[in-house]
Chains A and B, each alone.
Chain A
Amino acid sequence: MKVKGKKVVTETESIVVLDAGMAPPGGIPVCCFGTFQIFR
């Protein structure tokens, strides 16, 4: 087993973290005017 940077690898398993994303809750932005206009 080795954990190197963003890549977790075993003999058979491989995970490359491309984007850690955001941790909910509390970070949900408000969407205004539907899909189209992120108001802030």
Chain B
Amino acid sequence: MLLRDVSNLQVNPLTASNRFQPKRGEPLPFFHFIMRLSRYIKIYPYAEKPGHFLLYSTRQSSVALLNEDTLKAAQEGTLSPASRETLHRLGFLIPHGHDERREMLALFDRADHGRPFNAVLVLNLDCNLDCTYCFEGGMKGNRYMTRETADLFIDFAEKNYLAEGKSVELDFYGGEPLLSVDLIRYVSGRLKPLVENRGGEYTFNLVTNGTLLTGELARELAPLGLRRAKVTIDGPQEIHDAFRPFVSGAGSFDAIVRNVKAVCDVIGIQFTGNYTRENYQEFPRLLDHILAEGITPDKLAMVMFAPVTGTMAEYGLPEYREGCDSTEEPWLIEASLFLRQEILKRGFYTPKMRPSSCMVEFSDNIIVGFDGTIYKCPAFIGRKEFAVGDLHTGIRDYHDSHKMDLWKNDECLDCAYLPICFGGCRFLKLLRDGAIDGVDCRKDYLDAALESYILQDLKLRTTAEKP
């Protein structure tokens, strides 16, 4: 049973007593100033230890256990300096007068500084698999990025993003990017020295179905900058092979497991899979299978399962219309908690709930289609109304088309979940309602699931945090 949320217990810091007195003439350390609880925290009574409360900062993804007296003192502004300093460091307390809402509004301006330039390059819309739910299904075909378009991208990147010391991280995407492996070699061969000569680092990742990612290829590409590959296996063999067969109809499961086994010591593997309401309970068998194959937790950078996402009629496969398009679907909470528990129980790393945001928010993140069209999100590939420019003419203003202000309202800015939501997913909103005319609010989902996520982490997470 979910515990009562008491986040709204607040005391006016202006009327709270402050029993700590400075020595004459000495400057006050920051934690002596009046502090108040951050608006971006959740407080849950801790059932395992009566009289204690779990505090979770959505802004910092920190967790602490406080007894009742400490929580009361934090709310009333009467904490000892050591406790104040601790709770401030963890993001639970902020100095009175600090404007958290303004900080959130400016977050992405600041966050952009120091981040690498990230581009997702859609190298083709072709694939050697014939997945039943492919969201690119209606666009698939013999469409490949040419070397001329790749040259345009490199020139575009050099002109607009390759400042002194700026690092570059590319994600090669498709279709199946390894059908364009020569272009990966070419782009990396040209960009790597351009970036490194300016003092930056060049790296790239693959979003691949894994069937072509052999050990030999990973060893060849690693010196060119390959760091990680996101590989998908949709559950145990019989389920995966039904959902993700080769074009020939043959199963792809064995080839992918064999390749993951061969490359997981060379590059980081993000091991993902897509489940449905009908099959998610079978996924633990996949975890047991890879463990038996010797793919142990230390060999995978991350394991995460996600529901099959729906697509829009004109872009997806006509025969597949069953995807999940909302965090509010009740079975999803049960499924995600169940699978997360099974992953953690076996010692694999899976991401914590932590601050994250749609890539649209970051100015140094772009998607480049196979034809040189530029987008802000991979889910918008092929949708002309969401193209933001091209490699010839550059990027035009997308403030209105992408509703950049959609979460910048009182309700979102005052919501404790803002740092782990930022208005949710524009694509899912579009999918559900036909327009991005508001936020993809996750409050109900997080009200129901966040506490359980935190408790899972406390009880089951044994592996060290991975970057």
Residues on A lying within 8 angstroms of B by beta carbon are 1, 3, 8, 10, 12-40
Q: CA A40 – CA B227 in complex, angstroms?
A: 11
If A1-B82, A37-B309 are given as contacts, then 18 extra A-B residue pairs at C-beta distance below 8 Å, sorted by A number, are: A15-B86, A21-B57, A21-B354, A22-B354, A24-B60, A26-B110, A28-B107, A29-B355, A30-B358, A31-B359, A32-B378, A32-B379, A33-B378, A39-B171, A39-B207, A39-B230, A39-B359, A40-B228
Q: How many A-B residue pairs have CB under 8 A?
A: 150
**Measured CA separation A38–B378 after assembly (Å):** 12
**B64 contacts which chain A residues (CB < 8 A)?**
15-19
Q: Which of B90, B115, B169 contacts A20 (CB 8 A)?
A: B90
Counting CB contacts under 8 A, is B457 at the interface? yes
Cβ B309 vs Cβ A25 within 8 A: no
CA distance A40 to B355 in the complex (A): 14
Name the distance in Å between A9's Cβ and chain B's nearest Cβ. Answer: 9
Task: Say whether B368 faces chain A, with CB atoms less than 8 Å apart.
Answer: no
Please tell me if the beta carbons of B357 and A15 are within 8 angstroms of each other in the complex.
no
Nearest to B356 among chain A residues (CB) is: A31
Kindly state whether residue B79 has any CB partner on chain A within 8 Å.
yes
* Candidates B113, B354, B379, B458; contact of A29 at CB < 8 Å: B354
User: Which residues of chain B have C-beta atoms less than 8 A from A1's C-beta?
Assistant: 80, 82
Chain A contacts for B223, CB-based, 8 A:
none
Nearest CB in chain A to that of B359: its residue: A30
Nearest A residue (CB) for B352: A19
User: In whole Å, how far is B59's beta carbon from the nearest beta carbon of chain A?
Assistant: 6
* Interface residue count on the B side (C-beta < 8 Å): 69
Known: A21-B63, A28-B357. A35 touches B230 (CB 8 A): no
Cα A35 to Cα B86 in complex, Å, equals: 31
B4, chain A: closest CB distance, angstroms:
20
In contact, B67 and A26 (Cβ under 8 angstroms): no
Give min CB distance, A36 to chain B, whole Å: 4
CA distance in complex: A2, B445 (Å): 40
CA distance A39 to B171 in the complex (A): 9
Q: B62: which of A8, A20, A33 is its contact (CB, 8 Å)?
A: A20
Minimum distance in angstroms from A10 CB to a CB of chain B: 5
User: A22–B86 contact, CB under 8 A?
Assistant: no
Cross-interface CB contact of B63 among A19, A28, A29, cutoff 8 Å:
A19
CB distance B61 to A19 under 8 Å?
yes
**Can you show 15 pairs from A to B with CB atoms below 8 A apart?**
A3-B82, A10-B82, A13-B67, A13-B83, A14-B66, A15-B70, A17-B64, A19-B457, A21-B61, A24-B60, A29-B355, A30-B357, A34-B424, A36-B307, A39-B120
Contact (Cβ within 8 A) A37 B306: yes
Residues in A neighbouring B314, C-beta threshold 8 A: none
Most chain B CB atoms below 10 A, which of A10, A23, A31? A31
Q: Which residue of B lies closest to A19 (CB)?
A: B63
B137 interface hit (Cβ, 8 Å): no
